Amino acid sequence: AEAKNATLVHNDINVANLVNVEGKAIKYNDFNVAVTLRWNKTRPCGFPIRFQNKLWKSPEEIQNKTYASEKTDIYALGNVLFQVLTRHQPWTWLEPDGQLSPDDVAQRKLAGGFPHFPPKVTQSPELAVAGLYRGTLACLMPDPEKRPSAYQLADGFRQIIEWIDDNKQVAVSELGEFFVV
């Protein structure tokens, strides 16, 4: 049977914790703050989130309303995917109002905002870019309940990769709300 439920929260997903293994695979390291999730979903998993940088925190972390969860890791993964797409950290580049302070970023996140994506990403006709963009947006949803699970995200990316490998003609517009929960 396939595991569809998170059993571990990494709690420090960021670009600095990625390792390129022999040029073939990207893996996470630095599991020293990882938390094993309990199967009892009525209790928190042990300690509150402790990211200090508001650029990386999810909205619920900024509000200090949550304990470590799969959904906070998914938000952090959205930050990493943003960097893959743009080669810049979210909230630090191309923002319409210029450079934002950490407090400005926090306020925008709490108001339901997203970091600014360049038009070459938002308007790309390429299925790979469009799929990664939509997956990134899904990860960065302000409401954690609207973020996909790790399984849903991986399954969506798997489907897009299959379409690309099979040379299937899929219009970018068909992706629509592909990763929306």
| pLDDT tens track for 124-148 | 999 999 999 999 999 999 999 999 9
Residue 1's pLDDT is what? 39
Q: Measured between alpha carbons, how far is 67 from 48 in angstroms, rounded to an integer?
A: 4
Is 1.10.510.10 the CATH classification of the domain at 8-175?
Answer: yes
CB atoms within 10 A of CB 31: 12
* CA 131 distance to own-chain centroid: 13
Q: Positive or negative, the Cα torsion across 67, 136, 152, 181?
A: positive
**CB contact at 8 A, 110 and 57:** no
**61 or 8: whose pLDDT is higher?**
61
The whole-model pTM stands at 0.78
Between the two ends of the chain, the Cα-to-Cα distance in Å is: 22
> What is each CA distance from 161 to 25, 72, 128, 170, 172, in whole angstroms?
16, 25, 8, 12, 14
Instruction: Kindly state the greatest CA–CA separation across the chain.
Output: 49
Res 179 pLDDT > 70: yes
**145 or 15: whose pLDDT is higher?**
145
CA trace torsion 91, 130, 20, 16 (10° rounding): 10
Half-sphere exposure of 153 (CA within 13 A, CB side): 25
Res 40 pLDDT > 50: no
**Mean pLDDT over the full length of the chain:** 78
Q: Where are the domains of the chain?
A: 8-175
